A and B are shown apart, each in its own frame.
Chain A
Amino acid sequence: QKEVEQNSGPLSVPEGAIASLNCTYSDRGSQSFFWYRQYSGKSPELIMFIYSNGDKEDGRFTAQLNKASQYVSLLIRDSQPSDSATYLCAVGSNFGNEKLTFGTGTRLTIIP
């Protein structure tokens, strides 16, 4: 059974600091990795995806993937109070036609 593990938090980070969110997965055949942000009472919003080992940067967000260690992370630089949300890690096995397995999410709170 495919598993995706996240620290549930809550993770508290001062405003302006770097928030680091981590995720591990069990299926070594996984090929696609996603980070979703979910505000309370809202649906998940895709913020980053990564397929290759290494780093991928988009604005204040950086996704990091290490397939050998089965580990994916999300860094948020210059954290803002608006970044306070639950972050869901999701993993897929095949491109284009495969369902995703979601982690339980990490609740992030940015402290002003």
Chain B
Amino acid sequence: SAVISQKPSRDICQRGTSLTIQCQVDSQVTMMFWYRQQPGQSLTLIATANQGSEATYESGFVIDKFPISRPNLTFSTLTVSNLSPEDSSIYLCSVLEAGGYNEQFFGPGTRLTVL
């Protein structure tokens, strides 16, 4: 499977600031997704990152709060804007490789703490 990296692995941010998370894959993939996992909870899909066009957001998530870019088939960024303590969470990118069915593989995650 593809090797997925995320940067930063963790960060502590002040309320009101923003954090941009990068997701890099070592091969071209068909789809990239961004998830949030709050403490002790399961994964919630934030959006599908579309190459060359606007991301597709899930209910409850909006572009102003979670702007996403995907300039090519191997890279995407998620920005969490106007941070509040409720945004403290793990953010994960996942990829769906060409030729597969629906298997998604996850990056190592970014642990965000907002003070």
Contacts and interface: CB of A to CB of B under 8 A. Distances in A.
A102 B107 CA distance: 16
Contact of B45 (A42, A49, A88, A99): A99
Contacts, number: 56
B96 A96 contact: yes
Contacts of A42: 108-109
A86 B33 CA distance: 21
Interface string A51-92: 100000000000000000000000000000000000010101
Interface of A: 31-32, 34, 36, 42-46, 49, 51, 88, 90, 92, 94-100, 102-105
B71 to A, nearest CB: 21
Main secondary structure of the interface of A (DSSP, over half): loop
Most buried by B among A46, A97, A100, A105: A100
B101 A43 contact: no
A105 B42 contact: yes
B104 interface: yes
